[in-house]
Amino acid sequence: MRLIFLGPPGAGKGTIADIAKDAFSIPHISTGDLFRMHIRSETSLGKRVKQILAAGDLVPDSVTIEMVKERLAEDDASAGFILDGFPRTIPQAETLEKITHIDCALNFEAPREMIIKRLSGRRVAKQSGRIYHLEYNPPKVPGKCDLTGEPLIQRPDDTEEAIVNRLEVYQQQTAPLIDFYRSKGVLKDISATGTPEEIFQRTREAIE
């Protein structure tokens, strides 16, 4: 199964992908996570994209496409994958068409106020990236990951200024992908309100 998760930042794509990857036994490939891994490891790619991510801007297509091509060529992606955060521009989508076939693009829809609440209250485990929310999904011990005890941090692009920019970038560059995939007959709209389990159920039904 080859899936694309579309939708604005804060719609909960990463949270749903985390559930779906286990349910469908396919890897969750998040370009945001891949970039953050490079930043943590201080690779040359990481150094190049650090400021871009912090500001909530998009990494240039050529850089992103190269990274995704390499990831999709790995063994575990041969039977399928969830692409989360890619494609984010029309040129990225056109390139993806040439690399592989997509079964379904899921468009997670969320109202703007909910997005801002979700992003500003989001906290992530420093190493693993596991996602929490101060209000909706708090850790058992404040500031610590339930699984590893590692500290929870706020992503540099979850500040109000970066959130506003990310939403604008989404509208301008990524929202056109909804029509791109709709016209190919593979788009399914999913309401991204409710609990992660409810949203995942809708996702599963839409795919089936």
Task: Tell me, yes or no, if 182 is annotated catalytic.
Answer: no
Tokens of 32: 């945001």
Q: Rule CB under 6 A: is residue 64 a binding residue for ligand ADP?
A: yes
Cβ distance to ligand ADP smaller for residue 168 or 205 = 168
Task: Tell me, yes or no, if 118 is annotated catalytic.
Answer: no
Q: Rule CB under 6 A: is residue 12 a binding residue for ligand ADP?
A: no
Tokens of 168: 């604008």
Q: Which stretch binds ligand ADP (CB under 6 A): 73-81, 84-92, 141-149, 190-198?
A: 84-92
Spot the catalytic one: 2, 118, 122, 130.
Answer: 122
Q: Which stretch binds ligand ADP (CB under 6 A): 58-66, 93-101, 131-139, 192-200?
A: 58-66
Tokens of 191: 């309401």
The footprint of ligand ADP on residues 35-54 (CB under 6 A) is 35, 52-53
Q: Rule CB under 6 A: is residue 59 a binding residue for ligand ADP?
A: yes
The footprint of ligand ADP on residues 165-184 (CB under 6 A) is 166
Please, what is the minimum distance in Å from the beta carbon of residue 14 to ligand ADP?
Answer: 7
Spot the catalytic one: 130, 166, 188, 202.
Answer: 166
Residue 19 DSSP SS3: helix
Q: Rule CB under 6 A: is residue 92 a binding residue for ligand ADP?
A: yes
Contacts 24+ apart (CB under 8 A), 67-74: 67/31, 67/34, 67/35, 68/29, 68/31, 68/92, 68/96, 69/99, 71/29, 71/34, 72/29, 72/99, 72/100
Cβ distance to ligand ADP smaller for residue 87 or 139 = 87
Tokens of 62: 């050529």
| Nearest alpha-carbon partner for 170 in 11, 2, 4 | 11
Task: Tell me, yes or no, if 130 is annotated catalytic.
Answer: no
| Nearest alpha-carbon partner for 37 in 5, 87, 2, 71 | 71
Task: Tell me, yes or no, if 117 is annotated catalytic.
Answer: no
Task: Tell me, yes or no, if 88 is annotated catalytic.
Answer: yes
Answer for the pair 82, 207: CB distance below 8 angstroms, yes or no. no
Whole-angstrom Cα distance, residue 6 to residue 178? 8
Site residues, ligand ADP (CB under 6 A)? 9, 30-32, 35, 52-53, 56-59, 64, 85-88, 92, 157, 166
Annotated catalytic residues are 13, 88, 122, 155, 166
